[in-house]
Amino acid sequence: MNRSEFLETLQHGLRSLPVEEREGIVNDLDEHIAVSLENGVSEAEAIALLGPPADIIAQYVHGDIVEPKREQAPVIQNPVAAPTQTEAPPEKPTSKQVSPFKIVLIAGMCFIILMLLLDALD
């Protein structure tokens, strides 16, 4: 069963539901298929992961809880590789010393700003 047949089967089986609800369900399942395809899963596998259309229809129309026939393993497209031993450890940032000139300059500027603020308050 291909994607369009799967979605048409769902549309037909869910016809007793309100149109907005039916379209929402079908769109959600179509999005699940699209995500699986993006992760390298074939269309047939993506549809099989969702389960048989009859089970999905029963779940939404009759409120039946359907037990999955098998567990789905997570699909991982690009696993993160462990760092290799050839990579150098990140360098520690070196602490910079502030020259006495900069300390005096900053202190003087703070003093001037403080004097201007105090003058403005009078």
8-39 residue pLDDT tens? 999 999 988 888 988 999 999 999 899 988 88
Higher pLDDT, 96 or 21: 21
- Structure confidence at residue 87 as a pLDDT band (50, 70, 90): low
Token match 């020259």: residue? Answer: 99
Q: Which residues of 3-22 are buried (b: 16+ CB within 10 A; e: fewer)?
A: beebbebbeebbeeeeeeeb
| pTM for this prediction | 0.52
* Phi and psi torsions of 81, nearest 5°: -80, 145
Per-residue pLDDT tens for 47-62? 988 889 888 888 888 7
Q: Which of 21-25, 50-54, 70-74, 83-87 has the lowest average pLDDT? A: 70-74
Contact criterion met (CB below 8 Å) for 41 and 75: yes
CA–CA separation, 20 and 18 (whole Å): 6
